[in-house]
Amino acid sequence: MTTHYTAPLADIRFDLYDLLEVEKLFAELPGCEGLNRELIDAVLDEAAKFSQAVLAPLNEIGDQQGCSFDKATAEVKAPQGFKEAYRQYVEGGWAGLTAPEAYGGQGLPETIGAPVKEMIDSANLAWGTYPLLSHGATEALRVHGEDWQKDAFLKRIVSGEWTGTMCLTEPHCGSDLGLLKTRAEPSDDGSYAISGTKIFITAGEHDFTDNIVHLVLARLPDAPKGVKGISLFIVPKFKVGKDGAKGERNGVRCGSIEHKMGLKGSATCVLNFDGAQGWLIGEPNKGLNAMFTMMNTARLAVGLQGLALSERAYQNALSYARERLQMRSLSGAKFPDKPADPLIVHGDIRRMLLTQKALIEGGRALGLSAAVLVDIQHRSTDENEVKRAEVLMSFLTPIVKALLTENANECTSLALQIYGGHGYIAEHGMEQYARDARITTIYEGTTQIQALDLLGRKVMQQQGAGLKLFLEEIAAFCTQHANDDALKAFVAPLAGIAKEWADVTQAVGGRAAGNADEVGAAAVDYLFYSGYVALAYAWARSVVAADASSQSEDFKQAKRLTARFYFDRILPRTRIHLAAMQAGADSIFAMPDALFG
């Protein structure tokens, strides 16, 4: 039984037009002036058609077939239909949707690219990983590449003729890039010979395109130790001259592909670099600066992956709950003409459905709000506005990445639970979403890495600059609506917990000043606490936007009731995370290592 997918266009349009008022935003941003509702709707409609008709039918096929690796030729073949879908994707102009027009892209804002990506990933996340890192490679080359590199590589990535990858991880080092060993030896022609092994490389080898552009972290011979001695290089599968001409096969080969829990249609490769010709991007030993341009883009994209899987799983769980007959309602038969009531009448089924709905719609509002900040950061001519967007974006990135992916684990698990035993078997398709979701909290920085980034770097090291701006925004919202009786159920709790957030942060910081381990002990709880407050703000704003909109009364009521559920049943999770933070690090570090056995 194949699961279904219908793009959630009504909620996407509500977020864009009513909540975020993108028409006003685009009218003020350079390069976006001509973007009206008619054009935006046309893009969304076409993306929905492509996702539903082309990608969604391949989702189950990709999971069943997986990728194949030919050891003799070191080539990878994607599942049946994937290559043809990519051809249609490129012909439709989707590859360069948000890329600059100067390099052949369409120059649309990220706020439009984000919902398109969500639809693609809901339809077929494994397929969506192939073009995923091309977007990040585009950003890294656009910001840090030399003019000839942009001409030779960037234009072909933007067109979809070639794809890009990001090569960080090595067998002995994952998130700790200071341990990286891949070497880069200078050559007489200005290029470098790259040697080493990279693992877990998404789309590192495939049959979609005739060239793949790898962005590789490596060390120069005289590089300092640790992360301060890492440089970034362009290493194509086939050599490319400065004139853009494609040459002979380069010294990079796929050694194997991983056998994974999920995302089986996505090729996760071991890449062996043996004196491969590469070109330096940016300054020597400053590779992390360029890589983080790519990585931050990828982290937001992975957050959207989590949202996408949650949406697909929820849609099918909701359909099943409406159709599956099981027992009678505890308060009496709701469908007496049927032999039993449908699942949706039962209290705990409703709790699970509402939890998914609240996390998905709140997560979409939060994710698209982050996309708006990206567009302001990249396009605004107001320096103060750009600086504010940069600080807020930096603060929200680990929250969006971690929370939306952790929510995906919860939402896909709840969806499977609603199916009962039928959810556990492959025929109904739900277990695939639970398997696929599991990686999203791991790659592009685990939840723990995001939590340390948020608390350790964005809050402690940067004196809470982003948090202060976000709290100011929440305070202004609460002040504006303080006297609105219809909103008291949302505004008063939001104002209270926002104040508590500031106090909690100060308390954790105070303990960390005396013991650095307090940061690691509190970080994940702090991230979840922060994320749930951020979602509460998104929901309060959504209620205000819905009430003021021209949406149907049913739509408005659904928003208000879902927000009420969120504030009543999900926001209280902050109490658990608060208690855990207040407990401190003692019980975590008290046990000697030897006693863990």
Return the structure tokens found at 354.
């509402």
Rounded Cα–Cα distance for residues 523 and 398 (Å): 12
DSSP strand E in 452-594: where?
none
Helical packing angle, 347-379 and 287-323, nearest 10°: 150
Rounded Cα–Cα distance for residues 301 and 136 (Å): 9
Contacts of 423 (CB under 8 A, 6+ apart): 415, 416, 417, 430, 431
Rounded Cα–Cα distance for residues 544 and 529 (Å): 23
| First-residue to last-residue Cα distance in the chain | 45
CA 421 to chain centre: 30
For 441-459, the DSSP string reads GTTTS-HHHHHHIIIIIII
Q: Is 28 a catalytic residue?
A: no
Name the nearest CA neighbour of 99 among 90, 86, 91, 108.
108
Contacts of 480 (CB under 8 A, 6+ apart): none
Return the structure tokens found at 140.
């890294």
546, containing H or E segment: helix 517-548
Q: Which of 444, 472, 473, 518 is catalytic?
A: 444
Rounded Cα–Cα distance for residues 71 and 79 (Å): 17
For the four alpha carbons of 136, 137, 138 and 141, in that order, the dihedral sign comes to positive
Rounded Cα–Cα distance for residues 52 and 432 (Å): 18
| Residue 419 near residue 320, CB atoms below 8 Å | yes
Match 């952790």 to its residue by tokens. Answer: 406
- Residues labelled as active-site residues: 444
